[in-house]
Amino acid sequence: MFTKILIANRGEIACRVIATAQKMGIATVAVYSEADKNARHVQLADEAVCIGAAPSRESYLLADKIIAAAKQTGAQAIHPGYGFLSENEAFAQRCEDEGIAFIGPKAHSIAAMGDKIASKKLANEAKVNTIPGYNDAIAGPEQAVEIAKKIGYPVMIKASAGGGGKGLRVAFNDKEAFEGFASCQNEARNSFGDDRIFIEKFVQEPRHIEIQVLGDSFGNVIYLNERECSIQRRHQKVIEAAPSPFISDATRKAMGEQAVQLAKAVKYQSAGTVEFVVGKDQDFYFLEMNTRLQVEHPVTECITGLDLVELMIRVAAGEPLPLTQADVQRDGWAIECRINAEDPFRNFLPSTGRLVRFTPPQQSMFQADPSKKLGVRVDTGVYEGGEIPMYYDSMIAKLIVHGSDRNDAITKMRAALNGFVIRGISSNIPFQSALLAHPKFVSGDFNTGFIAEHYAHGFVAEDVPHEDPDFLVALAAYMHRRYRARACGISGQLAGHEVQVGEAFVVVTLGHEGRHQYHPVTVSDFEAQSGTSTVVIHGKSYKISSNAHLGSRRIQGACNGQGFTAQVERGTSKNPLGLRLAHNGTQVEALVLTPARAELFKLMPYKAPPDLSKFLLSPMPGLLVDVAVQPGQKVQAGEKLAVIEAMKMENILFAAQDGVVSKIVAGKGESLAVDDVILEFE
């Protein structure tokens, strides 16, 4: 067994590998870019080596620097994590040539399966059913359009070395095929250093179901059941689960056996994933093989009780698999939510900056310890006070729950999301909560088009209807009563003029453009010691109790005998005198006033925000890589104006209306903050 390994990655996956290595008594070496010098994985590792500047092409993609770091520290093996160099056959071969074990498959397996074009050809030769497409690298956008026409729209344009939603577009017409090819090529070149692109038929209403396989150097290969990964936004997975609520035991077995057959054909060693697209009649087609550990591996660990990272390390050290196919378990139901640094209410634009607050829900399951079950696990590479840089992926944590069945897992995940406190940057937690509450998700009736179908016009607060909106109003009144109780106890009050608190209040829920709602409530039976009150609103009674500290943003308690977890914040920039409450994905801004003050508040005029339609503002922090227009140019609504690169994705900004460009304010290559002016219109 190795005594020291180097992790050629960053973020949560680097921390995940370190956890298993520590359990096995193996010393760890972290590598980091200048932007990551204070990162969590650097702090957790036994040693750390700086390998270059912030952009990944100047650090985490530099094989020479990583090999040199391994030699310098005496690491006998390298775990590549996922992304970066994890599926780079030249890197795997280079490790082998240098006498360093690569904790992953052999270079020949990566060459055969990691390259999507080569893997499809091999699958065809092995008589595996594949989707129609053009499997050779494409010369340019003109050829891409011709090929797309022959296959028939819609088509999927895909980077050969792609992954994680990078270098992937769906085109429904010639214009989208032409522009999609160029964007995919740029993203692939920047993210993977390989700009080869191929095209295949886009199967509509498909499910994305993948099989986890595991092989050793003795020719043994097993499959560890499947993962359901159909909930995707722009081809990037959002929620993953194991097992799938869709496929039958017969289909599971057939897919598993086919995945094993494919892995054996390339003498596969280590953990890998065979991805399938599954039709509504449970017909399945080979999509690709990921020759690495997957982001969503924890859900498989939950239901099988196996530590996949440990098994990868043992196989790389020459050990045989410690179990056979008959030993593989399928226990309960696991769900993983990817918590990303993006703003769901601003079209999921990347959100970077400092994590002012980062308090995950309490964990009862842990990385590297699959013996703990039926609880909550958080895999993350960040910490409170740390920085979310713009150079890397937007994922800041993975929230994993394990339940006795699917409904239990959904209930646990909703409670865990309620208790996940993130401030300073935006996160997609409200969107995750909305998905988990959607009736079609709950019933298991969804495919990869689920998000595009149900959130076609983006995601707005109204998309998260609360099952009991009066509960949030009652909670606001309850919390206000507790704050007032504290104010009553302040010292130095003038005798006869002490703070008096009545029972009648009006909760004002603040609406868009001054459209507020007024809710008369009474708060009675207040007990300071137990923190209990009875709130009556619209004839309904809510008995709420909580012993949460008043400065805490996470409030856990009981309402009418049922437990709840919510978030309450006092004094926000939008509402400095009120409360912000969040529960089950619904967020409200509220003011709690006396009846007399509520009447006065109704008289307050609405102040409209300034008209910014004459400016193109940067919707996110990022690098301005292109300005597509000139001063004096007439533009039409929908025309491309500029391109901003952030978190390894290109974001194209389009004109919202017809107009004439009067002035270019920001130049190509500039770093922009949110709401920086890029150009002005006449």
Does residue 516 share a domain with residue 634? no
CATH number, domain at 573? 3.30.700.30
Does residue 268 share a domain with residue 384? yes
Tell whether 128 is covered by a domain: no
**From the candidates 187, 288, 336, 342, which is the catalytic residue?**
288
Tell whether 121 is covered by a domain: no
What is each CA distance from 79 to 14, 15, 218, in whole angstroms? 9, 12, 21
| Of 576, 605, 575, the residue nearest 589 (C-alpha) | 575
Tell whether 117 is covered by a domain: no
pTM exceeds 0.85: no
Kindly report, residue by residue over 1-33, the tens digit of the pLDDT: 999 999 999 999 999 999 999 999 999 999 999
Tell whether 126 is covered by a domain: no
Segment 235-252 shows an average pLDDT of 94
Would you state the pLDDT for residue 244? 95
User: Which residues does 208 contact at the CB level (< 8 Å), separation at least 6?
Assistant: 228, 229, 230, 232, 237, 275, 276, 277, 278, 287, 448
Would you state the pLDDT for residue 189? 85
Segment 475-491 shows an average pLDDT of 85
Segment 161-176 shows an average pLDDT of 84
Please tell me the distance from the alpha carbon of residue 157 to that of residue 181, in angstroms, as a whole number: 7
Does residue 621 share a domain with residue 504? no
CATH number, domain at 161? 3.30.1490.20
- Domain endpoint, select from 540, 571, 601: 601
Does residue 307 share a domain with residue 211? yes
Does residue 375 share a domain with residue 430? yes
Does residue 281 share a domain with residue 410? yes
- Domain endpoint, select from 86, 103, 120: 103
Does residue 211 share a domain with residue 84? no
Would you state the pLDDT for residue 164? 66
Does residue 423 share a domain with residue 572? no
Is 176 designated active site? no
Does residue 476 share a domain with residue 352? no
Does residue 221 share a domain with residue 195? no
Does residue 649 share a domain with residue 562? no
SS3 for 179-238 is: HHHHHHHHHHHHHHCCCCEEEEECCCCCEEEEEEEEECCCCCEEEEEEEEEEEEECCEEE
Does residue 267 share a domain with residue 403? yes
Residue 630 scores a pLDDT above 70 = yes
List residues bridging with 156 in a β-sheet: 170, 200
Number of domains, the chain: 5
Kindly report, residue by residue over 67-104, the tens digit of the pLDDT: 999 999 999 999 999 989 999 999 999 999 999 999 99
List residues bridging with 551 in a β-sheet: none
Please tell me the distance from the alpha carbon of residue 661 to that of residue 455, in angstroms, as a whole number: 32
Segment 187-204 shows an average pLDDT of 83
Residue 361 scores a pLDDT above 70 = yes
Segment 472-487 shows an average pLDDT of 89
CATH number, domain at 310? 3.30.470.20
Residue 454 parent element (H or E): helix 450-454
Tell whether 312 is covered by a domain: yes
Tell whether 442 is covered by a domain: yes
Of the spans 398-407, 477-486, 563-572, which averages the highest pLDDT? 398-407
Residue 521 scores a pLDDT above 90 = yes
Tell whether 493 is covered by a domain: no
Domain range holding 506?
A: 469-488+499-601
* Of 183-192, 233-242, 483-492, the least confident: 483-492
β-bridge pairing 4-7 and 77-79: parallel
Tell whether 609 is covered by a domain: no
